[in-house]
Chain A
Amino acid sequence: MTSDAATATGTTHTTPRAEGTGPDQEPPAHGLGASLPPADARAKTEGTFPYAADLWAEGLLWAALLRSPHPHARILSIDTTAAAAMPGVRAVVTHEDIPGDSAYGRRVVDRPVFAADLVRHHGEAIAAVAADHPDTARLAAAAITVEYEVLEPVTDPEKAFVAEPLHPDGNLIRHIPLRYGDPDAVGEVIVEGLYRIGRQDPAPIGAEAGLAVPRPDGGVELYTASTDPHTDRDLAAACFGLEPDRVKVVVTGVPGATGDREDPGFQIPLGLLALRTGCPVKLAATREESFLGHAHRHPTLLRYRHHADAEGRLVKVEAQILLDAGAYADSSSESLAAAVAFACGPYVVPHAFIEGWVVRTNNPPSGHVRGEGAMQVCAAYEGQMDKLAAKLGVDPAELRLRNVLATGDILPTSQTVTCPAPVAELLEAVRDFPLPALPKDDPEDDWLLPGGPEGAGEPGAVRRGVGYALGMVHMLGAEGADEVSTATVRVHDGAATVICAAVETGQGFSTLARQIVQETLGIDEVHVAAVDTDQPPAGPATHGRHTWVSGGAVERAAKMVRTQLLQPLAHQFGMSTELLQIADGKITSYDGVLSTTVTEAMDGKELWATAQCRPHPTEPLDGAGQGDAFVGLAFCAVRAVVDVDIELGSVRVVEMAVAQDVGRVLNPSQLAVRIEAGVTQGIGAALTENLRTARGLIRHPDLTGYALPTSLDAPDIHIVKLVEERDVVAPFGAKAASAVPVVTSPAAVAAAVRAATGRPVNRLPIRPQSAVAAHKS
Chain B
Amino acid sequence: MTLPASLDEAVAALGAMPAAVPVAGGTDLMAAVNKGLLRPAGLVGLGRISELRGWHYQDGHALLGAGLTHARMGRPDFAALIPALAASARAAGPPQIRNAGTLGGNIASAAPTGDTLPVLAALEAELVIAGPDGARREIPVSHLLAGRELLEPAELIGFVRVPLLHAPQVFLKSTGRTGPGRATASVAVVLDPARRGVRCAVGAIAPMPLRPLEAERWIASLIDWDGERGLAPDALAAFGEYVAAACVPDQAPPDDGGEAPPLSPAVLHLRRTVAALARRALGRALS
Contacts and interface: CB of A to CB of B under 8 A. Distances in A.
A769 B179 contact: no
Nearest to B91: A454
Interface in B229-287: 265-266, 268-269, 272-273, 276-277, 280
A445 B128 CA distance: 44
Contacts of A688: 176-177
B173 interface: yes
Contact of A769 (B173, B180, B266): B266
B174 A713 contact: no
A769 B182 contact: no
B177 A713 contact: yes
Interface in B147-195: 172-182, 184
Interface string A644-655: 000111101000
Contact of B179 (A648, A649, A713, A768): A713
A456 B173 contact: yes
Contact of B175 (A288, A451, A711, A772): A451
Given A454-B90, A768-B269, A769-B265, A648 B276 contact: yes
Interface string B114-157: 00000000000000000000000000000000000000000000
* Dominant secondary structure at the A interface: loop
B contact patch SS? mixed
A709 B272 contact: no
A451 B174 contact: yes
A448 B14 CA distance: 46
B173 A648 contact: no
B268 A769 contact: yes
A456 B273 CA distance: 10
A458 interface: yes
Contacts of A39: none
B91 to A, nearest CB: 4
Contacts of B268: 769
B200 interface: no
A29 interface: no
Contact of A687 (B173, B177, B276): B177
B35 interface: yes
A454 to B, nearest CB: 4
A456 B277 CA distance: 7
Interface string A757-772: 0000000000111001
A463 to B, nearest CB: 14
Contact of B269 (A138, A453, A704, A772): A772
Contacts of A450: 178
A577 interface: no
A707 B177 contact: yes
A762 B7 CA distance: 56
Interface in A447-481: 448, 450-456, 458, 461
Contact of B178 (A713, A767, A772): A713
A456 B177 contact: no
B90 A647 contact: no
Nearest to A689: B177
B199 to A, nearest CB: 19
Interface string A280-310: 0000001010000000000000000000000
Given A286-B35, A650-B174, A769-B266, A452 B272 contact: no
A769 B90 CA distance: 26
Contacts of A649: 269, 273
A273 to B, nearest CB: 20
Contacts of B272: 647, 772
A244 B147 CA distance: 61
Contacts of A448: 178
A710 B277 contact: no
A713 B177 CA distance: 7
A452 B179 CA distance: 6
B176 A707 contact: yes
A257 B252 CA distance: 50
A707 B179 CA distance: 9
Contacts of B36: 135, 138
Given A448-B178, A650-B174, A769-B266, A455 B280 contact: no
B273 A768 contact: yes
A712 interface: yes
Interface in A690-716: 704, 707, 709-713
A238 to B, nearest CB: 33
Contact of A647 (B94, B176, B180, B276): B276
B87 interface: yes
Contacts of B176: 650, 687-688, 707, 768
A455 B115 CA distance: 12
Nearest to B281: A456
A452 B178 contact: yes
B269 A458 contact: no
Contacts of A453: 90
Interface string B212-231: 00000000000000000000
Nearest to A138: B36
A647 B35 CA distance: 37
Nearest to B94: A710
A707 B175 CA distance: 11
A648 B271 CA distance: 10
B236 to A, nearest CB: 12
A452 B265 contact: no
Contacts of B94: 710
B250 to A, nearest CB: 18
Contacts of A769: 265-266, 268-269
B219 to A, nearest CB: 19
A458 B265 CA distance: 23
A707 B181 CA distance: 8
A688 B35 CA distance: 24
B160 to A, nearest CB: 21
Contacts of A652: 178
B35 A288 contact: yes
A207 B178 CA distance: 25
A652 B181 CA distance: 14
A652 B265 CA distance: 22
Given A768-B269, A769-B269, A456 B280 contact: yes
Contacts of B174: 451, 455-456, 648, 650, 768
A288 B32 CA distance: 13
B269 A709 contact: no
Contacts of B173: 451, 454-456
Given A286-B35, A456-B280, A709 B177 contact: yes
Nearest to B275: A647
Contacts of B178: 448, 450-452, 455, 650, 652, 710, 712-713
B116 to A, nearest CB: 13
Given A648-B273, A769-B268, A452 B182 contact: no
A709 B178 CA distance: 8
B278 to A, nearest CB: 10
A649 B277 CA distance: 12
B273 A711 contact: no
Interface in A63-90: none
Nearest to A650: B174
Interface string B79-108: 000000001001100100000000000000
B180 A452 contact: yes
Contacts of B91: 454-455
B263 to A, nearest CB: 12
A704 B172 CA distance: 20
A647 B94 CA distance: 25
A656 to B, nearest CB: 14
10 contacts: A286-B35, A451-B173, A452-B179, A456-B173, A456-B277, A648-B276, A710-B94, A710-B179, A768-B176, A768-B269
Interface of B: 35-36, 87, 90-91, 94, 172-182, 184, 265-266, 268-269, 272-273, 276-277, 280
Given A454-B91, A713-B179, A768-B174, 5 more contacts: A452-B179, A454-B87, A652-B178, A710-B177, A768-B184
Closest 7 CB pairs of A and B: A710-B179, A769-B269, A456-B172, A712-B179, A454-B91, A452-B178, A647-B276
